[in-house]
Chain A
Amino acid sequence: MAYDYAPFPYIAPPGLAAPEPRHPVIIVGAGPIGLAAALELANHGVRSVVLDDNNVVSVGSRAICWAKRSLEILDRIGVGEACVEKGVTWKVGRTHHRAKEVFNFDLLPDPGYKMPAFVNLQQYYVEEYLVTRCEESDLVDLRFKNKVVSVDQGEDCATLSIETPDGPYTLEAEFVLACDGAKSPIRTMLGLDFEGELFEERFLIADIEMEADFPAERWFWFEPEFHSGQSALLHKQPDNIYRIDLQLGWGSDPEEEAKAENIIPRIEKVVGHSDFKLDWTSIYTFQCRRLKRFVHDRILFVGDSAHVVSPFGARGGNGGLQDVDALGWRLAAVVTGRAPRALLDRYDAERTYGSDENIMNSSRSTRFMSPSDGADRWFRDATLALASHAEFARPMVNSGRLSMPCIYPINAPDAPGLPAVSRPGSVAPDAPQGNGWLLSMLGGQMTVLAIGQPAPDGIEAITLEPSPEITARYLGDEKAAIYLIRPDQVVAARWTKADAATIQAQIDAIWEGRA
């Protein structure tokens, strides 16, 4: 069943009648990233205004693969369970070369995590759930059909000019989050540019609706018989919607290719029949680029406005949610006076690092999928040829390395006997706790975990008994440990033994932006 794009209501903003008081945070853009940022700030008690020039959710499925970390973040802001319930949980990927399967992976359901490895769900559903949540929140003021047309930064605030169906008005904010997407008008207004690579490749992306029993797996083809010399992807979404991506090559004419009479025969060849309905199509050019810096005084870039990657690693939507994760608690602390502005530089450092990792992975996949003539193509073809003869070449076949949260290179106390999965800089692994989950207990606070030992005097901590999951993920060979977890659930430091002063010094360093 095709999605019903019901428009959200426009309500005349108070600023049209009389100047509004200065807002702590204004978010430009109600895509998944802007909406998630508003809810994350609300979790930390910070009010925001969200402005969007449009009044419907994302047209077309766009970002469809939501990774475990994203689902955990979405869960913290109240929509994770809805996404998992509606979405298609999948774990198997199959990669074919011509008619032969050359590589497959199974993201085994690792028990003892609340969230699955991946869920496929159209971006419009994720946005719909986020909008509902924002409307329920007293701390989020969501304004559709409010288009930002200019921005100005002064000593103590930023000023936005906004156009509405009832005319223009202005707003002041201490901080502006530019969540206005890949074509970010705010980026242009500031005269900033992306740096990085544009690949000469085009993909056709289509959502089709059909009754079929294709398994909930990711199917990728290199040079399939049905699409000569190119690549193709088929991925299942809820509501009998399937996503098909077809490589077109740079020589193709995008306008010509986008015509239904050219698209339909191609898809017929993929699915083997013509009993489907074309729901949405788009042509996608590959880019792997980012802004040099994400923080520009009072204007902070988050999501696609800050970085864009080619789609096959699911790093667009997922990468943006990790920005939100890294920014929310820090911005809340700055706005409420808990921390100095320097804390925002840590957002910049961590997310430009994360973005580089995403760009590196996406560029590698793109080079494999769409090799330029010469060495790139020789080695790509050699890998594909070897894959059906030698095991080592199979994992080298690169149809996209799926998004994983990056491990931040933080310089923090660590103890050698503790397991690698929870080393400082990693997201704290989830684990069952009673009837619930560890990550829900952590919430979004700075938390000390005392595992297998009491908390040191003077330190407030959650004490955990070493269950099998806790032992595997947090203790390894040790009997006891102390973990310091940041509000974004990233492990900040860990010790086998630590006194209150040591722990407190580390907490202070984090709030002061030194760690």
Chain B
Amino acid sequence: MSLITAKNIEDHDGAYADLLAAHRGLDTEASAALNARLILILMNHIGDRAVLREAIDLARTSGT
């Protein structure tokens, strides 16, 4: 399997809103902590080291 980069969530606007809602009212530090927990949970769910590497690469190279 390789990283899915095409649209893959039915209600993407809803999912995005869920993410923002989870961060609402948190200061920067608490937000960073939440993100860290979320990333670890999602990493485990994906479970495939090659896919994770692709995802990390995409994140790293898409910042500019």
A interface residues (Cβ-Cβ under 8 A, vs B): 375, 378-379, 381-383, 385-386, 390, 392-393, 396
Contact = CB atoms under 8 A, between A and B. Distances in A.
7 contacts: A379-B39, A379-B40, A381-B33, A382-B36, A382-B40, A393-B40, A396-B40
A386 B39 CA distance: 11
B58 interface: no
Contacts of A382: 33, 36-37, 39-40
A396 B40 CA distance: 10
Contact of A381 (B36, B39, B41, B44): B36
B2 to A, nearest CB: 23
Contacts of A379: 36, 39-40
B3 interface: no
A396 B39 CA distance: 14
Interface in B36-53: 36-37, 39-41, 44
Contacts of B26: none
The 3 closest A-B pairs by CB, nearest first: A382-B36, A378-B36, A392-B44
Q: Which of B33, B39, B40 has the most CB of A within 10 A?
A: B40
Given A379-B40, A382-B40, A393-B40, 20 more contacts: A375-B36, A378-B32, A378-B33, A378-B35, A378-B36, A379-B36, A379-B39, A381-B33, A382-B36, A382-B37, A382-B39, A383-B40, A385-B33, A386-B37, A386-B40, A386-B41, A390-B41, A390-B44, A392-B44, A393-B44
Nearest to B38: A382
A379 B40 CA distance: 8
A385 B37 CA distance: 8
B interface bracket (residues with beta carbon within 8 Å of A): under 10
A393 B35 CA distance: 15
Interface of B: 32-33, 35-37, 39-41, 44
Contacts of B40: 379, 382-383, 386, 393, 396
A125 to B, nearest CB: 42
A18 to B, nearest CB: 65
A382 B33 CA distance: 6
Contacts of A392: 44
Nearest to A379: B36
Nearest to A375: B36
A390 B40 CA distance: 11
A193 to B, nearest CB: 33
Nearest to B45: A392
Nearest to A381: B33
A393 B44 CA distance: 9
A392 B39 CA distance: 13
A378 B44 CA distance: 17
Contacts of A381: 33, 36
Nearest to B37: A382
A387 to B, nearest CB: 10
A200 B8 CA distance: 44
B43 to A, nearest CB: 9
Q: Which of A378, A385, A393 has the most CB of B within 10 A?
A: A378
Contacts of A383: 40
B25 to A, nearest CB: 18
B32 to A, nearest CB: 5
Contacts of B44: 390, 392-393
A480 to B, nearest CB: 36
A149 to B, nearest CB: 52
B51 to A, nearest CB: 16
A385 to B, nearest CB: 6
A334 B56 CA distance: 49
Nearest to A390: B41
B41 to A, nearest CB: 7
A379 B33 CA distance: 8
Contacts of A390: 41, 44
B10 to A, nearest CB: 25
B26 to A, nearest CB: 13
Contacts of B36: 375, 378-379, 381-382
A382 B43 CA distance: 13
A383 B39 CA distance: 10
Contacts of B39: 379, 382
Nearest to B35: A378
A379 B44 CA distance: 14
Nearest to A392: B44
Contacts of B41: 386, 390
A152 B57 CA distance: 51
A379 B35 CA distance: 9
